[in-house]
Amino acid sequence: MNRLTGQRALVTGGGRGIGAAIVRRLVAEGASVAINYRSDAVAAEAFAAELAASGGGGERGEVRALTVRADVSDPEQARRAVDEAADGLGGLDILVSNAGVEYFGPLEKITVADYERVFGINVGGQLFITQAAVARMERGARIVLTSSVSASMAVYEHTLYAASKAAVSAMVRNLAPELAGRGIAINAIAAGGTNTAMAAKNLPKYAHPELRDLPPEQLPWLFSAVGRLAEPEEIAAAVAFLASADASYVTGSTLAVDGGKP
């Protein structure tokens, strides 16, 4: 399926985990992709070279894959990332804002620095990369931000992160009518627990302290009807749908990809 042939995409946080799976899926569907990363230039360049060598994508079947270094929590760097991506790819049709940071901590331990970091990346980073992208987009463009199922469920000592992700869902809901006039759709993905290095580290924290001694294989049953973690490729498939014309009548929505409620 090549729903995205000829499309040009920027994926923030695209060098690993869910972000890398999204990049692979967009390329597999025909898009050329700019991969945003923050620090590991060697890994990002190797990933781009791998994609370029894989074939498929682009208007004539060739992949264009380039890398863009930026800390998207800095609005100036976010603007520069968008400009480098659009200039390098010859335009910008898709933005996938995937970069984010996790946080667990009790109310009394949350500091101003914690708040500024979490909201600066998870909210400000997504707002300002969207602002910059819209300035380079034309009618028919599509934007996918990253919320979380944490925005709609109670998780012990997860307030700061959950609030930041709830803000993202509010953002897409309110930007939808504004951007519709420009012919641009905006949605968000709310992923459930996903099989990544971050999940391996934080999965027990999603359980109440009284339940954290459960065997690891039982923990997903606490928040997923299917009783397992998602694979990154399953999240990427949902992103590809929202980035495609198949979702032409979908905007302002947050799509839960969470394995159902237990």
Render pLDDT for 63-75 as a digit per residue (tens, 0 to 9).
689 999 999 999 9
Give the pLDDT confidence score for residue 63 in this predicted structure: 62
Residue-wise pLDDT for 182-234, tens only, equals 999 999 999 999 998 877 778 888 888 888 888 888 888 888 999 999 999 99
Q: What is the DSSP letter of 194?
A: B
Give the pLDDT confidence score for residue 59 in this predicted structure: 47
57: pLDDT strictly greater than 60:
no
**Domain-by-domain residue ranges, the chain?**
8-257
Residue-wise pLDDT for 152-192, tens only, equals 999 999 999 999 999 999 999 999 999 999 999 999 999 99
Catalytic residue status for 165: yes
**Residues 6 or more apart in contact with residue 116 via CB below 8 angstroms:** none
The active-site residue out of 73, 165, 206, 244 is: 165
246: pLDDT strictly greater than 90:
yes
Better pLDDT: 219 or 35: 35
Q: 0.85 exceeded by the pTM?
A: yes
The active-site residue out of 37, 103, 161, 206 is: 161
Give the pLDDT confidence score for residue 37 in this predicted structure: 95
User: Which residue, among 159, 153, 165, has the nearest Cα to 107 in the 3D structure?
Assistant: 159
At residue 112, what is the residue type?
V
Show the DSSP H helices in 90-140 as ranges: 112-119, 125-134
Give the pLDDT confidence score for residue 213 in this predicted structure: 83
Catalytic residue status for 201: no
Give the pLDDT confidence score for residue 52 in this predicted structure: 83
**Least confidently predicted of 46-55, 74-83, 110-119, 246-255:** 46-55
CATH 2.60.120.10 fits 8-257, yes or no: no
Average pLDDT for 8-13? 97
Give the pLDDT confidence score for residue 55 in this predicted structure: 65
Catalytic residue status for 147: yes
Q: How far apart are CA 93 and CA 143, in angstroms?
A: 8
56: pLDDT strictly greater than 70:
no
Q: Which residues pair with 12 in a beta bridge?
A: 97
The active-site residue out of 32, 73, 148, 169 is: 148
The active-site residue out of 32, 147, 244, 253 is: 147
Q: State in Å, rounded, how far the first CA of the chain is from the last one.
A: 33
Catalytic residue status for 161: yes
Residue-wise pLDDT for 81-127, tens only, equals 999 999 999 999 999 999 999 999 999 999 999 999 999 999 999 99
Phi, psi of 146 (to 5 degrees): -120, 110
